[in-house]
């Protein structure tokens, strides 16, 4: 039996999507998935190294591995007018943060890329995603960019919203913001790649058909959120778009790659391709 390494984050929306595969409710004859649950920046680095065959990764990371991975139409996290949040200890504008230190959850995260598009001049402080709020509260950084559950819980920690980067992107492009994507390494037989794509799509469809079971599994991975917040977060990033990102989702990825290249944030333009 062939073995395939499959990576996803310990975030509730990823856990929801991969519930079917992780629990063995979805299988592929002749193929065994070895699950690796790691924070998104670790998965991004693994993709950069080409170590993992199938993985969730930041759309930003894909810009650096597009020549080695193709994307799936399933499993994409799209922020439709919402996304990573810039927060601070007090009310202020995004422009007022020019030249300031901002805590960001990893060099390869989409949150960091979009912040660089929205605010060219700032000093990044790279920390784990779950340390961003702490860095802001203790004054190590003047602001921070929140991904995952922090987008819903920042107010409980006394922080104020400065800007929503998903809303900023929507105003600029009219498109949703592609945050997370799933890549499949090239070099795997086309027939196997299609089986993998179908299995992941089936896992997502199964979760949507059995939301309470899938949410129950996702809640094991939720940190700092109650049941209501977990359900809200999963609906934000694991809705119908996760089954198939559609033409709009594909355009959104292409537009993000184009914008990053035109802003000189990429050395070369990324050519976006999907498993067919």
pLDDT of residue 183: 97
Q: Is 90 exceeded by the pLDDT of residue 10?
A: no
**Residue 218 predicted with pLDDT over 90:** no
Least Cα distance to 63 among 102, 15, 114 occurs for 114
Specify the pTM. Answer: 0.94
* pLDDT: which is higher, 122 or 31: 122
The b-or-e profile of 11-31 (16+ CB within 10 A means b, else e) is: bbbbbbbbbbbbeeebebeee
120: confidence class by pLDDT, cuts 50, 70, 90: confident
- Write down the pLDDT at residue 17: 94
Q: Average pLDDT of 159-163?
A: 97
Q: How confident is the model at residue 220 (pLDDT cuts 50, 70, 90)?
A: confident
Which among 35, 148, 157, 208 is annotated as catalytic?
A: 148
> What architecture is the 85-173 domain classified under in CATH?
3-Layer(aba) Sandwich (3.40)
Give pLDDT, residue 229: 85
d(CA 233, CA 174): 22
pLDDT of residue 51: 95
Q: Across residues 186-200, what is the average pLDDT?
A: 94
Q: State yes or no: pLDDT of 219 exceeds 90.
A: no
Contact (Cβ atoms closer than 8 angstroms) between residue 97 and residue 162: yes
**Within the chain, which residue ranges are assigned CATH 3.40.190.10?**
2-78+178-262, 85-173
Q: CA torsion sign, 108 to 149 to 96 to 114?
A: positive
Q: How far apart are CA 72 and CA 199, in angstroms?
A: 11
Roughly how many angstroms between the first and final C-alpha of the chain, as a whole number? 24
Strand order in the sheet with 101-104: 123-126, 101-104, 143-146, 85-88, 160-164
Provide the H-helix boundaries in the chain: 12-17, 19-22, 40-49, 59-65, 110-118, 132-137, 150-153, 165-173, 190-209, 211-218, 227-237, 240-243, 246-262
Tell me the three state secondary structure of residue 178: strand
What is the model's pLDDT at position 149? 81
Mean pLDDT of 44-56: 96
Sequence length of the chain is 276
DSSP state of 270: -
Residue 157 appears among annotated catalytic residues: no
pLDDT of residue 93: 96
Residue 1 predicted with pLDDT over 80: no
Give which of 150, 114, 113 is closest to 130, Cα–Cα: 150
What pLDDT was estimated at residue 2? 83
Highest averaged pLDDT of the listed ranges 40-44, 138-142, 147-151? 138-142
- The SS3 of residue 19 is helix
How confident is the model at residue 276, as a pLDDT?
78
Question: Which CATH superfamily hosts domain 2-78+178-262?
Answer: Periplasmic binding protein-like II (3.40.190.10)
Answer yes or no: are the C-beta atoms of 163 and 118 closer than 8 Å.
yes
Residue 58 in contact with residue 84, Cβ under 8 Å? no
Res 79 pLDDT > 80: yes
- The CA distance from 16 to 64, in Å, is 27
Q: Report the chain's mean pLDDT, rounded to a whole number.
A: 94
How do residues 62-77 score in pLDDT, each as one tens digit?
Answer: 999 999 999 999 999 9
When pLDDT is cut at 50, 70 and 90, the band that residue 250 belongs to is very high
Q: Does pLDDT of 222 surpass 80? A: no
């Amino acid at each position: 039996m062939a073995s395939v390494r499959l990576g996803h984050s310990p975030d509730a929306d990823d856990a929801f999507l991969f519930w079917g595969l992780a629990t063995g409710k979805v299988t592929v004859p002749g193929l065994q998935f070895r699950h690796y649950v790691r924070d998104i920046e670790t998965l991004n680095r693994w993709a950069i190294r080409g170590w993992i065959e199938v993985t969730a990764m930041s759309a930003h990371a894909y810009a650096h591995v597009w020549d080695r991975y193709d994307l799936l139409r399933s499993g994409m996290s799209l922020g439709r007018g919402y996304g990573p949040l810039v927060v601070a200890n007090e009310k202020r504008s995004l422009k007022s943060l020019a030249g300031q230190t901002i805590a960001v959850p990893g060099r390869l995260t989409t949150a960091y890329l979009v912040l660089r598009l929205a605010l060219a001049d700032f000093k990044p402080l790279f920390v784990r995603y779950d340390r961003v709020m702490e860095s802001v509260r203790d004054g190590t950084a003047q602001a921070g960019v929140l991904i995952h559950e922090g987008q819903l819980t920042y107010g409980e920690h006394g922080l104020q919203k400065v800007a929503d980067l998903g809303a900023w992107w929507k105003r600029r492009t009219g498109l949703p913001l592609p945050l997370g994507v799933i890549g499949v390494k090239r070099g795997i037989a086309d027939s196997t790649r299609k089986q993998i794509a179908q299995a992941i799509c089936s896992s997502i469809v199964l979760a949507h058909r059995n939301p309470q079971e899938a949410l129950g599994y996702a809640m094991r991975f939720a940190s700092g959120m109650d049941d209501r917040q977990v359900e809200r977060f999963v609906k934000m990033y694991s809705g119908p778009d996760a089954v198939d990102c559609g033409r709009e989702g594909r355009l959104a990825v292409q537009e993000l790659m184009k914008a990053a290249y035109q802003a000189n944030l990429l050395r070369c333009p990324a050519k976006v391709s999907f498993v067919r």
